[in-house]
Amino acid sequence: MELLHCSSPAPTDHFFLIGGHSLLLIRLRHQIQVRLDHHLTIPELLENLKFVDMLKLLDSKNKNSNKTEVSHKKTTIIFFPALYGGCVAYLKLTALLRGKFEVVLLDEELGESVDEVAKKYAKQIGRKVTSGPDSRLIFIGASSAGTFAHATCLHYSSSHITVILLDTGTYWDLIENLDYQKHEM
């Protein structure tokens, strides 16, 4: 596998245990999207780090995409405020997107934990987004805002959400809960 510089990984090998790391996981997700036209979320990949599990995930996605045709009537792009700057960093980008998409700039939320802040953002999104329940949501977060965008996504059951992380911090609670079982030879 060219991404990991590993000639023949075993199906039971764990991505992180044979040289993978967070940036390579992002690259893998991109390659899957470009080469196979499958849109996987980072949480989906993090829950399926053995290659055999990744293949099962791709297979189930393929079967599901053959069964239903999803139509997105409207796309809403939601910008999460970055620490010490709010949404200022996004101003040029939002100017380009307005008119083509519904654009929502969130107000900064504070809390004692990532999950508490994520819940507050989910409520704020509910108040600010005018599109219907079948619309596509794109969460964008730079730096620490990427962590909040990802955590907020976990409060939705919809599969119509894409999270874009720009130069983001790490969501350590998720990383700590991963099962790092030794890969089998």
Q: What is the mean pLDDT of residues 70-99?
A: 74
Domain termination residue (choose one: 38, 69, 100): 69
User: Are 88 and 154 contained in the same domain?
Assistant: yes
Secondary structure letter of residue 156 according to DSSP: -
1 lies in a domain? Answer: no
Query: H-helix or E-strand containing 59?
Result: helix 51-67
Instruction: Give me the pLDDT at residue 117, please.
Output: 93
User: Are 47 and 124 contained in the same domain?
Assistant: no
User: Are 89 and 167 contained in the same domain?
Assistant: yes
Residue 109 tokens, joined = 């939320």
User: Are 137 and 107 contained in the same domain?
Assistant: yes
User: Are 106 and 37 contained in the same domain?
Assistant: no
65 lies in a domain? Answer: yes
User: Are 61 and 121 contained in the same domain?
Assistant: no
Please determine, for residue 41, whether its predicted confidence score (pLDDT) is greater than 70: yes
- Within 8 A by CB and 6+ apart from 20, the residues are 4, 28, 49
Instruction: Give me the pLDDT at residue 181, please.
Output: 45
Q: Please give the tally of structural domains in the chain.
A: 2
User: Are 135 and 85 contained in the same domain?
Assistant: yes
CB 42 within 8 A of CB 57: no
Tens of pLDDT, residue by residue over 117-167, are 999 999 999 999 887 767 789 998 887 788 899 899 988 876 678 888 776
From residue 179, how far is each of 17, 74, 117, 150 by CA, in Å? 11, 37, 26, 20
User: Are 51 and 127 contained in the same domain?
Assistant: no
User: Are 108 and 145 contained in the same domain?
Assistant: yes
Domain termination residue (choose one: 39, 69, 99): 69
Q: What angle do CA 111, 44, 8 make, to 5 degrees?
A: 135
4 lies in a domain? Answer: no
More confident call, 66 vs 180: 66
156 lies in a domain? Answer: yes
Q: Which of the residue ranges 30-34, 52-56, 154-158, 164-168 would you say has the lowest mean pLDDT?
A: 164-168
Burial-class residue 80 by CB neighbours within 10 Å (0-12, 13-18, 19+). buried
184 lies in a domain? Answer: no
Mean pLDDT of the chain: 77
Q: What is the mean pLDDT of residues 99-123?
A: 91
Confidence tier at 38 by pLDDT (50, 70, 90): confident
179 lies in a domain? Answer: no
For residues 43-65, one letter each, b for 16 or more C-beta atoms within 10 angstroms of the residue's C-beta and e for the rest, the string is eebbebbbbebbeebbeebeeee
The CATH number linked to 149 is 3.40.50.1820
Tens of pLDDT, residue by residue over 128-142, are 988 776 778 999 888
- Work out the end-to-end distance of the chain between its first and last CA atoms, rounded to an integer number of angstroms: 16
User: Are 30 and 87 contained in the same domain?
Assistant: no
User: Are 81 and 137 contained in the same domain?
Assistant: yes
Among all chains, which residue has been given the structure tokens 């045709």?
A: 69
Domain that holds residue 88: 75-172
